[in-house]
Amino acid sequence: MSRPPNILWIVTTQWRAQAFGHAGDANATTPAMDRLSAAGVNFTQAVTPHPFGPFARAALLTGTPSPDNGVRDYFDPLPAGTGTIAHDLSHRGYATAFFGKWHLSARDPGSPLVGEAHAKSTVPPGERGGFEFWEGFESGFLLNDPWLHGTRIPEPTRFGGYQSDVLALRAAEWIGGLGGAMPWFCVVSLEPPHPPYDAPASGCAGPGPGDIVLRDNVPRGDGVEERARSELSGYYAHIAATDRAVGLLVDRVMDDAVVVFTSAHGDMHGAHGLFRKGWPHEESVRVPLLVRTPGGCCLLEGRPASDATAVSLVDLRALAVAAADGRRWDLRRDFARISMPSVVRQPLQCDRIWSGLRAPGRKLVLNADGTPWLFFDLAADPGETRNLATDPSRAGEIRDLAALTPKDRP
């Protein structure tokens, strides 16, 4: 290519890897992401390093897992001055911008996490990860009429409309305003399809609760099934709405940009009788990762359209640097590391610290003291219905994998 490619990251929240038409989910209406998958590389075994927002976002931006990046607790901010992908690309002559949910600023554990107060809290310029242009919000889970502040908006200001629509439009306007004068790197960080699942979804509707096709590992005939059906109906409405918004943005930049679509983590939605995230199960740790490159870009040269590499969000900083440097991204590994560095004491979330390894065909999860908690043969049991952690015939395999986990487990 004559100059470095533009790079667009689209990061959603709670969009699990299974929830796409191209992944075979009968509930999902995702024509835009299905087109993106068909036009690029679908990393079918991608995971989040930590299935909870702040930890995942810190790892994504820094390329360093938590807690090594400074974020160990849910309320820890990303330390000021921490090196991120924005610094890397600024040094390479890129204009850099961030739009949307930050969730890496200091948060008061005693204040409500949901609502306008949180959505209107400001992120100081020195704590915006090195992005030259920044326009977003800390969090708040307001999927409609978001409050934004940042480089050109000194005070939090409400913008009418569905959050994904608003942010996609403002990112497109920023990109268009550059006029092609220099390469750009833009992150669009969206809360949907995060709860509240019953919030309006820009005119989109999901299947009715009775029409939802549940995963086989969701218990039937009790309160779990009823709750899962109700929440999934709204979840798929927000997926449809966000797919539409993201599709319009991608169509604006597809021909001359590396486009990356992913999610910070998934959601259990009743699988194994569990809800939300923080859990080491597939519904929580597996995330979508679609990467489309422009013509002449060698970044993914030689990779199949459906790539089973054990890739993690923590790898995307290196991927972006390779794109900017005009290099092929040569990541090859057998497993990815996954963990939760602390317990997030909120309803429904995982109740323990854990760490582990996930390969496309197996997964080992250890307790904080290093003892096995879960071991699954994903090739034979993709729904993780048989925990083999105490199976004597697997003891040697578990011991060998445990030896590969970090010695400084949180």
- Domains by residue range for the chain, with CATH: 6-334 (3.40.720.10), 352-410 (3.30.1120.10)
Q: Which pLDDT belongs to residue 406?
A: 65
Give strand pairing partners of 290.
42, 261
Q: Is 357 exposed, middle or buried (0-12, 13-18, 19+ CB in 10 A)?
A: buried
Q: Which of 340, 287, 293, 296 minimizes the C-alpha distance to 315?
A: 287
Q: Which helix (H) or strand (E) holds 164?
A: helix 163-178
* 62 touches 331 (CB < 8 A): no
Can you read off the two tokens belonging to residue 350?
């995982």
Q: Which pLDDT belongs to residue 18?
A: 97
* 103 touches 139 (CB < 8 A): yes
> How many Å apart are CA 97 and CA 103, to the nearest integer?
16
pLDDT in tens, 351-402: 999 999 999 999 999 999 999 999 999 999 999 999 999 999 999 999 999 9
Q: Which pLDDT belongs to residue 408?
A: 43
Q: How far is CA 361 from CA 106, 265, 310, 378, 409, in A?
A: 38, 20, 10, 5, 23
> How many Å apart are CA 281 and CA 283, to the nearest integer?
6
pLDDT < 50 regions, the chain: 1, 407-410
Q: Which pLDDT belongs to residue 113?
A: 82
Q: Which pLDDT belongs to residue 9?
A: 98
> How many Å apart are CA 125 and CA 41, to the nearest integer?
35
Q: Which pLDDT belongs to residue 180?
A: 83
Q: Which pLDDT belongs to residue 410?
A: 33
> How many Å apart are CA 165 and CA 183, to the nearest integer?
24
Q: Which helix (H) or strand (E) holds 354?
A: strand 354-359
Q: Beta strand pairing status for 257-263 and 6-12?
A: parallel
State the distance between the two ends of the chain, measured CA to CA, in whole angstroms.
43
Identity of residue 130: G
> How many Å apart are CA 262 and CA 285, to the nearest integer?
12
> How many Å apart are CA 231 and CA 301, to the nearest integer?
40
* 218 touches 40 (CB < 8 A): no
Q: Which residues contact 251 (CB under 8 A, 6 or more apart)?
A: none
Ramachandran category for residue 103: left, alpha or beta (phi over 0 → left; psi -120 to 50 → alpha): left
> How many Å apart are CA 59 and CA 291, to the nearest integer?
19
Sign of CA dihedral 134, 117, 266, 126: positive
Neighbours of 380 (CB within 10 A): 10
* 181 touches 92 (CB < 8 A): no
Identity of residue 188: V
154-77-319-179 Cα dihedral, nearest 10 degrees = 0
* 134 touches 147 (CB < 8 A): no
